[in-house]
Homo-oligomer: A and B are copies of this chain.
Amino acid sequence: MTEIKKYSISEAAEKVHLTAHTLRYYDKEGLLPFVNRTENGIRCFSESDLETLELINCLKATGMPIKDIKRFMDWCVEGDTKLEERYQLFLERRESVLKQISELLETLERIEHKCWYYKTAVEAGTIDIHKSDRMNRLKQKNG
């Protein structure tokens, strides 16, 4: 027999590294349609609700806005009729994350160039050590 654990809003918040305030905000925005209540109206979170919250965190980590996550949760409520839409959503998220990574790799190169630029400048005690950089670049370019 599987024991079914339930969590209060603050326990759930701690588990998924959010605040109870934020969970209520997500609920209000329609991100948590599956969370049950006691007869007194108090939310009780199941393990499955925690998994949903982990998924929400994951989608947020891809840069997805709350209202788009809400649309996804609406599809989840609709069940198997929206499977294709949900699949497409994750394919799009995948593309988005790949693009973000490639942009960050490009940014990383520029930052690393600046690290070298300032490392040499700090060693020389002045930025003037790079004063002719542009001229050198132009010379190389124009033969």
Contacts and interface: CB of A to CB of B under 8 A. Distances in A.
A69 to B, nearest CB: 13
A47 to B, nearest CB: 9
What 7 pairs across the A-B complex have the smallest Cβ distances?
A87-B118, A61-B107, A90-B114, A90-B115, A97-B108, A58-B110, A80-B126
Mostly helix, strand, loop or mixed at chain A's interface?
helix
A91 interface: yes
A118 B93 CA distance: 13
Nearest to A125: B80
Interface of A: 55, 58, 61-62, 79-80, 83-84, 86-87, 90-91, 93-94, 97-98, 100-101, 103-105, 107-108, 110-112, 114-115, 118-119, 121-122, 125-127
Contacts of A105: 101
